[in-house]
């Protein structure tokens, strides 16, 4: 019994020592938040992985076009992470406040977010590999997304996808235009 009391006193002393420092409070709060959201973390990790894949493909598309993307890509990815964090946390808090202790609303939210991000990923894939059969099969819903990413009209996207040579020519023209713009600014 004395050993148990000694352990309790040592633990209490360490807890007081930790809570007397700012980093201790920050650590306790961060750990509490992570423990509360633990059931939802795997869903959040999945959307982070999808966002990361979209960012990587976005960089590859930008390199292919000859664009600079560091600051814009970082801002866009950061805003996406913040938006999904707030969205998923709000849904999870709402579900737990109702006392359901399920994650069905969170799963539905994840499904919506995943589809949005996967469309962006597929559009990047279509830009990178225009003759890939899967991307051509789902081209109709992707035309608008590809047009937005390339800054061209949907009819031009159809023309580009109809001919690989036109696609190469368009990418070359984009690089030349970027080079001319850079030289004009200097």
Sorted by where each begins, the domain ranges of the chain are: 1-36, 39-185
| Across 16-20, 27-31, 181-185, least confident range | 181-185
Average pLDDT rounded to a whole number, residues 43-69: 84
Cα separation, 136 vs 122, whole angstroms: 10
Average pLDDT rounded to a whole number, residues 112-131: 83
User: Which pLDDT score, from 0 to 100, does residue 102 have?
Assistant: 76
Q: What is the mean pLDDT of the chain?
A: 78
Above 70 in pLDDT, residue 182?
A: no
164 pLDDT band (50/70/90 cuts)? low
Give how far the C-alpha of residue 175 lies from the chain's centroid of Cα atoms, to the nearest Å. Answer: 27
Contact present, 95 and 106 (Cβ < 8 Å): yes
Its pTM stands at 0.65
Above 70 in pLDDT, residue 181?
A: no
Cα separation, 34 vs 2, whole angstroms: 35
Cα separation, 127 vs 96, whole angstroms: 42
User: Which tokens belong to 98?
Assistant: 């109702």
Sign, CA dihedral 54-55-61-64, equals negative
167 pLDDT band (50/70/90 cuts)? low
49 pLDDT band (50/70/90 cuts)? very high
Instruction: Measure Cα distances from 133 to 122, 130, 138, 155 in Å.
Output: 12, 8, 9, 20
Radius of gyration of the chain (CA): 25
């Amino acid at each position: 019994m004395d050993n148990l009391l000694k352990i309790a006193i040592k633990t209490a002393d360490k807890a007081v020592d930790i809570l007397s420092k700012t980093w201790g409070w920050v650590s306790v709060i961060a750990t509490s938040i992570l423990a509360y959201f633990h059931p939802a973390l795997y869903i959040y990790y999945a959307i982070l992985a999808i966002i990361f894949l979209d960012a990587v493909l976005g960089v590859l598309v930008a390199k292919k076009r000859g664009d600079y993307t560091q600051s814009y890509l970082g801002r866009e990815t950061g805003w996406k992470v913040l938006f999904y964090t707030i969205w998923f946390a709000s849904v999870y808090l709402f579900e737990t406040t109702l006392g359901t202790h399920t994650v069905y609303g969170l799963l539905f939210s994840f499904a919506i977010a995943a589809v949005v991000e996967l469309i962006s990923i597929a559009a990047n894939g279509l830009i990178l590999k225009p003759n890939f059969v899967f991307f051509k099969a789902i081209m109709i819903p992707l035309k608008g997304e590809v047009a937005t990413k390339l800054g061209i009209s949907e009819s031009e996207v159809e023309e580009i996808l109809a001919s690989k040579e036109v696609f190469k020519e368009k990418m070359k023209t984009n690089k030349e235009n970027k080079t001319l713009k850079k030289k004009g600014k200097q």
